[in-house]
Amino acid sequence: MWQAERFSRIRALLAKYSRVSMDRIIADLAVSRETVRRDLLELEALGELKRVHGGAVRVQAEAPIAERANTRIKYKRAIAKAAATLIESGQTLFLDAGSTTAVLAEELAMLSGLTIITNSFDVALNIQRASDESRGNQVFLLGGALGARLPATFGDATIAELHRYRADVALLSPVGVDISYGATSYDRQEAEIARAMVNNAAHTFILADYSKIGLCSRISYCSVGQIDNLITNKKAEENSVLSDLQSQLSLVTLV
């Protein structure tokens, strides 16, 4: 079988299943393990997939936030409620831009004495709408360039301002969480903001609904060793990757 045909078959498998094992590819293509290994290396170099332990996952653009905001709402709300119970009055928090952190903002608005630093317009507005002055919460929206994909600020100016702060907890929502690459993002600018938040926070909580467990996007911004708590749904137990993550993480909260 010619390489071009093998590439086409591998792409078809990933398009159908999103994640395929090395053994499945070998059986489908009827070629050697070494041939598949080389093909996966080349396709990864082309940005078409990401190699993971035992196989490969499809790399694809993240859906627009307006679309993501209307998916798996029940699961995101459960994660947000669980994360809010772990926060104490008087803490300073980092929140990045995403559909899950926007839901989290509504839950945090019910607490008091928080200082919340974010680059997300949705996060800032949700806290302002749901909170009242008696709770004493403060929200700081980081300056910078307006992003093309999200209602949020990005770029060097945003990161420079972010470095002025130290937070007790960074609460971040990635595209995926993988045993090898940790929390990952599709967009470089989003990953840079999240990485800066991780580096300037005492603790990092990753909020990832069950569909994100085992997924790996293009850019890693938080290694498994830097995750203090992975908050996800009990439905994630159906994914074998979760047990691998539990063996490496200090804490996994299932809701």
Instruction: Please check the confidence at residue 129 and state whether its pLDDT lies above 90.
Output: no
Share of the chain above pLDDT 90, in %: 70
Q: What is the pTM of this model?
A: 0.75
Instruction: Please check the confidence at residue 215 and state whether its pLDDT lies above 90.
Output: no
Question: How high is the mean pLDDT of the chain?
Answer: 91
DSSP H or E segment with residue 181: none
CATH code for the domain defined by 3-58: 1.10.10.10
Taking residue 30's Cβ as centre, other Cβ atoms within 10 Å add up to 7
Position 136 scores a pLDDT of: 92
Give the span between the Cα atoms of 75 and 104, in whole angstroms.
12
Where residue 243 falls among pLDDT bands split at 50, 70, 90? Answer: very high
8 Å CB contact between 137 and 167: no
Min mean pLDDT across 1-15, 33-47, 52-66 is at 52-66
Largest CA-CA distance found in the chain, in angstroms, rounded: 70
8 Å CB contact between 195 and 220: no
CATH code for the domain defined by 65-254: 3.40.50.1360
Task: At 209, list the tokens.
Answer: 């609904």
| Extents of the domains making up the chain | 3-58, 65-254
Position 64 scores a pLDDT of: 54
| 158-183 average pLDDT score | 96
Position 60 scores a pLDDT of: 60
Min mean pLDDT across 14-18, 60-64, 73-77, 205-209 is at 60-64
Position 48 scores a pLDDT of: 77
DSSP secondary structure, 56-68, as one string: EEE--PPPPHHHH
